[in-house]
Amino acid sequence: MDPGILCKGNPIKGVHGISFIYQRHINDRDIRLMDIDYLGSVSRLCGVILRTFHLPACKKNMPVTEIDTEEGVRSLINDVKDQVIVIDFWASWCGPCRMIGPHFDNWAKEAEYESIKFVKVDVDEVGELAEEFGIQCMPTFMFFKNGEKIDEISGANKDRLKELLDKYK
């Protein structure tokens, strides 16, 4: 197999109907999708590629945006104006994070919260930023508007998180 081809014709775990050849040139980070045959939406395919190959970008057109770089988080906080952003700082090994995660994802899909931008950030990917923000435990949910932190909650308290979402919708 050509060393530039990382995945050839195999469906990706958890996503049905997607089969593609992915080629990545290491030097210029050029991405080419050469044989796309899928039943899902383009945004879903892009999200899978970003997650699977840990590309430094955020998913667009998805209810929850996943950002895996410190620069991406800072840029989002500073660039999004007149919209509340809620960031879930979580870790894959954190039990409470996995418990509240599905609720966070579901709220992001609900029409009543469409005015809020939902974001997930894995603290293991952005360690310095987590330290800079003073994150002591996980999950920690921080609310931002116009570049300023407006609220915060730590722990997997579903009811309290919903109260804050209702407050800022």
**What pLDDT does 30 receive?**
39
Q: Are 36 and 20 in contact (CB under 8 A)?
A: yes
**What pLDDT does 36 receive?**
37
Express each pLDDT in 26-79 by its tens digit. Answer: 333 434 343 333 333 344 444 444 444 444 444 444 589 999 999 999 999 999
Annotated catalytic residue within 7, 46, 58, 97: 97
Q: Residue 94 catalytic?
A: yes
- Residues facing 117 on adjacent strands: 85
CA distance 149 to 51: 27
Q: Provide the residue count of the chain.
A: 169
**What pLDDT does 62 receive?**
58
- Share the mean pLDDT of the chain: 75
Report how far Cα 46 is from the mean position of its chain's Cα atoms.
12
Q: Residue 97 catalytic?
A: yes
Q: Are 12 and 52 in contact (CB under 8 A)?
A: yes
Nearby residues of 15 by Cβ (< 8 Å), 6 or more positions away = 40, 44, 45, 48
- Residues facing 30 on adjacent strands: 25
**What pLDDT does 71 receive?**
94
Which of 125, 1, 101, 131 shows the shortest CA–CA distance to 51? 125
Annotated catalytic residue within 7, 46, 94, 137: 94
CATH no. for 65-168:
3.40.30.10
For residue 141, CA distances in Å to 15, 39, 45, 124, 162 come to 28, 34, 27, 16, 11
